[in-house]
Amino acid sequence: MLEIGSFLSDRYEILSKVGAGGMSDVYKAKDHILSRFVAIKVLKQEFSEDSSFVTKFRAEAQSAAGLEHPNIVNIYDVGSENGLYYIVMEYVEGITLKTYIEKKGQLSFKESASIAIQVARGIEAAHNKNIIHRDIKPQNIIISTDGKVKVTDFGIAKATSSNTISSDVMGSVHYASPEQARNGFVDGRSDIYSLGIVMFEMVTGRVPFDGDTTVAVALQHLQEEIARPSIYAPDLPISFEKIILKCTQKTPDRRYQTIEELLTDIRRSLAHPDEDFVTIAPLVDGGKTKVISPEELDKIKEGRGVAEDLNDDDTDADNDDEYADDDDEYDDEYDESLLDEDDDDEDEDDEDEDDDDDGKLLNPKMDKAITIMGIVTAVIIVIVIIYLALSVAGVFKFGGKKNSESQQTESQTQTESESESETQTETEGQMIDIRGMSVDDAQKAVDRLKLDLTVFAFETKQSDEKDGTILEQDVKAGDTVKRGSQINVVIAGKGDSTSEMVKIPSVIGKTKSSAKSTLESAGFSVTFEYGDYNNSVAADVVTAQSPSAKNQAAKGSTVTVTLSPGQKPITVPNVVGASQSQAESALAGAGLKYTYADSQYSDTVPAGSVISQTKSGETVAAGTTITLTLSKGKQQVSKSVNKTLSLGIENAKVVDGSYTLKGSDGQTYASGTVTSAEVAVSGTMNCASGKLTVTWKYTVPSLDGDGNEVEGEIQTKTETVEVQ
C-alpha cells in the first residue's frame, strides 16, 4: 500500500486512496509534470511477484491504451517502480451509475436513454478497435460532475483481430450474457446484452435476475425470459421497452448486431417514443424454454466466471479488477452442446469431426442432420399429443388464439404480443395475504407471483393501524386470481369516514415550486425535506417522494418530497504564494473556477506567483469563481548617477586606484581606474539606491637637506558614499 504524500516515478504524488479491487488498489494522485489530477491503479503487493498476475494486470493497459473517446476513461501511462506495477488513468470526479440509480430509485425514460447513448458511444469506440469490454455494469459507468457519462475498467477486455473471442465467464454475473455464463464464444453482442440489463435497471430500479448464488443467477440468464420492464415502469414507452427486450435476447443473433444499430433505435425512440418500430427476429424453435442438462450445469458450476467465490458485490469505490488471460488460445473445436439451437447454421464453418469425451469421432454431418431431424420430429409428435390431452381436459381456454399463434410462429410472422406471451407461462395463481402491509410492500409481494397483479387502494377507513396499512383485500389469500387482475384493498386512514383515493403524480426531477403545485393540484398536502448533497442534481430539484408515484393515497394526505441541496459546499483553498499552474490545479481540483485581476509588482513574491486571492478559507458553492492577482516581480527603477569625489590631500600624487558603483540589488553599474585626485563617476542604476566606492594609491613628496624633492611612501585612501 502506498503512503499518502509519496511519489511514483518522481512525478505522481499520492493524495488519497479511492478504491480497492481483487487485484489492485486505486489512488487519486497529482501529476506534477502536467499539473493535473489522475487515478493510479496499483497491483497489490501479494500479486506483484507472480508473473502471470503481472501479465494480466498489464493486459488492461494494453487493451485500453489505444482508446481515446469522451465516453471512455482514458489511460495515460503505465509503469513499474520498486516492484510496484501501476496504470495511470484519467481521474473523473463524479459518482457511479449504480449509486445514481440507488439514490433515484428509477430513472426517467429520457434520462435513461441519454445515459445509454453515451455508454453505447464509448462501447462503440472500443468495438471499432476490436476490444470487447465484457464487464458492462452500472458500477463501471461513471457520471461526472459536468454530466458526462464515461465507461471505465476495461479490466477483463481483450483485443482481438477476429470477430469473436474465447472467454471464461467473467464480469459481474447479474449483467453477464448467456454466452458468458456458459463459457461460450463472446463478441460485441455480449456487451449489447449487458447494456440491455443496465437499461432495464435504470428504468425499473432493479436487476431482472437475482438469487442467493452466482450459479443461480447465471442459470436465470440462460433459462428464464426477462420480464417486461413496463411491469415495474408502467409509463415506459413501448419503443424503449422493446429496445431493452431486443438487447437481452438469449440468442446473440436475435439481438442488435452492432452498437450502431442500437444507437439508431435509441435516438428514434427519443424522437418517437410511442412508435412501435423495433423488430425482434422470431424464435426458430417456437419459443420453447431450453432446459440445461446436468452435464451442462456441472460445466457452468465449474466455470471460473460463475464460481461460488465470484465477487459480485461491487461497490462504488471497490470495483473488482478482473483481467483476461493473454495466454488464452482460441479453439474452433468447442463443445456444441453448449450452443443454442439458433447457432446450428454456423456448424458448417466448424471442423467436420469433433472429438467426444472418449476420444472417438462423432458421426459425419449427414448422420448428424438425420439424427437432429429425427429428434425434432419426435419432439413435435410428443408436443401434439400433450396439447390434445390438455385440450380435452379443458386446460387451454383460448384454443383459437393459441392455434392462431402457432400458425403465425410456423410462418415466422410472430407478433410482439406473442413475444410477450413467451414470458407469461402462468395464466392464474393463488392470491397471498397482503393485510398488514403498505400498498408499496404489497405491490412488491404480488409482483413475485409473476401474474402482473395491481394493488389498488380504493378507500380508507379509520383504524388504530398505521396510516396506509392494508385492512381488507377483495381477493382473499388462497383464492384463485387471474393474470392481470386488480386487487382492491381498503387501507387505514384518518377521519371518521371513507376518503377518496387519488393516484399520486410523479414529481421526481421537478423544481420545488413545480412539485408543490403538481401535488396540491392533485389534492395532496406537501412537506419538504433535504437529502444528501448531490453533484448531479441542482439545488431544490426533487430526488425522491414518499409515498412513491403511481400509488394511491387518501385525498388530503401528505406527500413528503425530498429535495437536492445541490453540490456539497467547498472550502476555498489558500493559494497565495503558489505558482500560477499550482493555483489553477488546486482550484480546479476543488471544483472551483478562477479568473485574474491586473498583475502587480512585489518585492517579496516572485513573478508569476499569486500575490492575493478572493474568498480564501470561505465556504462556497461548486463552480464559484475565485479572483487571483499574480506578481510581476520587483519593479524596475532607473537611477542616474553623476558624482565627483576628491582625495583632499595637498601635494599628493596619485599613482593608482579604482572605483565601483554598486546598486542595492547587488549589481555593478560602473567601474574603472583612478588617475587623479578628483574622480568623476557617472552611470545608470536599475534600482533606487547604491554605493560609490573610490580607492586612491598616492605619495606625498618631501624635500631633502639639499632642497631636492624626495618621493614618499605609497599610501592608500578609500572613500564610500551612499547614492540615492
pLDDT digits (tens, 9 = 90+) for 558-613: 888 999 988 788 899 999 999 998 999 889 888 889 999 999 999 889 999 999 99
Over range 446-460, report the average pLDDT. 81
Q: Is 466 left (phi over 0), alpha (psi -120 to 50) or beta?
A: beta
- Using the predicted structure, report yes or no on whether residue 81 has a pLDDT greater than 90: no
- Using the predicted structure, report yes or no on whether residue 228 has a pLDDT greater than 50: yes
Over range 187-199, report the average pLDDT. 95
- Using the predicted structure, report yes or no on whether residue 357 has a pLDDT greater than 60: no
**Is 135 a known active-site residue?**
yes
**CA 225 to centroid of chain Cα atoms:** 28
Q: Please name the residues in contact with 252: beta carbons below 8 A apart, sequence gap of 6 or more.
A: 177, 179, 187, 189, 190, 193
| pTM exceeds 0.75 for this model | no
Q: SS3 string of 298-320?
A: HHHHHCCCCCCCCCCCCECCECC
What pLDDT is recorded for position 74?
86
> Mapping DSSP to helix (H, G, I), strand (E, B) and coil, where does residue 460 land?
strand
Give per-residue pLDDT as tens, 114-147. Answer: 999 999 999 999 999 888 888 899 999 999 887 8
Exposure string of 666-702, with b = 16+ CB inside 10 Å and e = fewer, is: eeebbeeebeebebebebebebeebebbbbbebbeee
Give per-residue pLDDT as tens, 630-682. Answer: 999 888 778 889 999 999 998 899 999 999 999 988 899 999 999 999 999 99
- Using the predicted structure, report yes or no on whether residue 168 has a pLDDT greater than 80: no
What percentage of residues in the chain have a pLDDT greater than 70? 75
Round to whole Å and give the CA distance between 641 and 492: 100
What pLDDT is recorded for position 408?
41
Of 306-310, 517-521, 522-526, the poorest mean pLDDT is in 306-310
- Using the predicted structure, report yes or no on whether residue 14 has a pLDDT greater than 90: yes
Model confidence at 281, pLDDT cuts 50, 70, 90, reads confident
Q: State the residue for C-alpha cell 371518521.
A: 496
Give per-residue pLDDT as tens, 398-413. Answer: 433 334 443 443 433 3
What pLDDT is recorded for position 637?
78
Selecting among 31, 135, 191, 340, the annotated active-site residue is: 135
Contact 638, 667 (CB under 8 A): no
Give per-residue pLDDT as tens, 262-280. Answer: 999 999 999 899 999 999 9
Round to whole Å and give the CA distance between 548 and 510: 14
